[in-house]
Structure 1
Amino acid sequence: MLPEILLITAGLSLGFFIASGLVALVIGLGIVTRYAGITKTAGSLRFYECCCMAGALFGDLFSLGTFSFSLPSWTAGVFWLFAGIYLGSWIIALGEVVNLFSILCRRIGLTRGLPFVILCMAAGKIAGSLYYFASGFQ
């Protein structure tokens, strides 16, 4: 009985850790603050951040369970609407990261070498992935 309790505790703790890291990344990239600024509801920013964390934690709990429940068919449309908003937020965040590279290169004086820096980063990612697959997923 004790090994199962320890396994459940470790699984939930690690899941909460990963979910918290994802929420910290979303909040750190400024997605939540940008939405609050666009909708002119900056006073509710703390509430939005708490909702992000609660969503991650409940998602973690629901992904561990093997239970099922039925919902009306229209809820699928609502789910996919929010999933699309979430995906769009990540696309916006990636656009912000790409802007960050150009700002960083301009500050360190690499005005002509930006395409080279991006190609080097892509080549490093490809080389790392190829090494990972060639080593047998160890």
Structure 2
Amino acid sequence: ANGSALWLNKDTATYTPNIPQIPVTTNRTTSTIFSFDSPGDTLSLYTTVPGGQQVYVAADGQLQFTQAHTAYTGNGSLVEGFGIAQGHLLFENTGFLAVATNETSNVPDNKGTAYKIYAASRTNLTGEGFAFRAIEADNTTIPAWQYE
């Protein structure tokens, strides 16, 4: 999660406010962790920020997430349609594509290509098939305050 989009080969960007009640070290993560709502077929980022952060498929098929404190997703975006089957996250019963960008990867050695993630059912772009493995988090998993 970085810049309101989901990526491969790009660092996760998080933020924790400097408030004494929030221990800064407990809300830092280098992982992008999701929270799936089965009855609603919706997906969120696992955060503690009030209001949370919704994951959605933008009108162009790109997998994005809302900024903290807003539910705005843009025209033509879809927030429902996520599911889990055979241990993998799906959207509209299909997988995802990793589409190469012109950005250089910053993981692990600033070489290579950064890839944006798209819902395969909502784009005509060419990319590599990509699967999110769904695993149940245990009670020691610490959420980010918010993703940026």
TM-score relative to the length of structure 1? 0.20
| Rg larger in structure | 1
Higher relative contact order (CA 8 A, sep 6+): 2
- The structure where helix makes up a greater share of residues is 1
